[in-house]
Amino acid sequence: MRQEPNHNIIFPINLITYTSTDVLKSEHVFLTAESYIDIASISVVPRTTGGQVYNYLPFSALSDTAKLYNDLRWNIIRPQGFEAVMRARCSQGIQVQEYHGNFCKRIPTDIDLPAIDCDKAIMVSLKHDDKLPDGSEFAFQRALLYTTMYGQRRIRVTTLSLSVTSMLSSLFRVADLDAQFTSMLKQGMHRFLKAPCSYFLWDRIVSFTWSLQLRLAVHPLHFFKSGNKL
């Protein structure tokens, strides 16, 4: 009697880098199941090690095999760095409030990334604790220390200087609404996962975010003039 293959498999891909004292591991999980899997529990390890979860639920050997192969191949050959440490800082009057993304945070000012690749993004929330003079220049800087695939230790620094303005017309000429909406959605999901929430409240959150995105896209200036707050 011919036995059918079992496709309820979890493929973990471990990218391991070594230091003199410990092992830094970034774990990527490939879910190829045909039934329910507790993705929220499984994703904790990839989220805290700079990894990623690839979900193919429900997995089909006919239609998903090529996608699984391409994702697995790109996960191995894509440009990436190891043992990375990142810090963001800014001018006086503004401070870093929180980091969002897949990483490990051992000290308040830095984030640790066992592996960092070209598909990863880290969101940094800023807040101002002092009055910002109109027309002044403020600088933001991000420094990333990492090891290349060839074993070279490098540091990459990115600096951005912006002008302070109190005019909404000047603000909306350079504002990135997609980035703002992504930031709001990530912060909302972060709070939602930390606190118990009913299905009704979750439905209200989704409805509000989509409504807000539509209003910002159609009438952004009117939205703020009417006294609404983000």
For residue range 118-160, list pLDDT tens digits in order.
888 888 888 888 777 887 888 889 999 999 888 899 999 999 8
Residue 140 covered by a domain: yes
Residue 204 pLDDT? 62
SS in 3 state form for 23-54?
EEEEEEEEEECCCCCCHHHHCHHHHHCCCCEE
CA distance 61 to 82: 33
Helix (H) / strand (E) element for 139: namely strand 137-147
Instruction: Determine what percent of the chain is predicted with pLDDT higher than 90.
Output: 10
Residue 85 covered by a domain: yes
Residue 106 covered by a domain: yes
Looking at the fold, whether 92 and 105 belong to one and the same domain comes out as yes
> Is there a contact between 26 and 115 (Cβ–Cβ < 8 Å)?
yes
Residue 170 pLDDT? 78
Cα–Cα distances (Å) from 210 to 75, 181, 191, in that order, read 32, 9, 18
Residue type, 142: R
Residue 16 pLDDT? 37
Average pLDDT, whole number, for the chain? 76
CA distance 77 to 210: 37
Q: Which residue has the higher pLDDT, 176 or 229?
A: 176
Looking at the fold, whether 89 and 160 belong to one and the same domain comes out as yes
Give residue-wise pLDDT tens across range 14-47: 433 333 335 577 888 888 888 888 887 888 888 8
Residue 102 binned pLDDT confidence (cut-offs 50, 70, 90): confident
Mean per-residue pLDDT, 102-124: 87
Choosing from 27, 53, 77, the residue where a domain stops is: 77
Residue 154 pLDDT? 93
Give residue-wise pLDDT tens across range 66-80: 998 999 899 888 888
Give residue-wise pLDDT tens across range 197-216: 555 556 666 666 666 656 55
Looking at the fold, whether 84 and 121 belong to one and the same domain comes out as yes
Choosing from 166, 192, 218, the residue where a domain stops is: 166
Residue 66 covered by a domain: yes
Q: Note down the domain range covering 37.
A: 9-77
- Residue of 101, 107, 104, 52 lying closest to 83 (CA atoms): 104
- Residue of 86, 143, 83 lying closest to 115 (CA atoms): 83
Choosing from 62, 77, 92, the residue where a domain stops is: 77
How many domains does one find in the chain?
A: 3
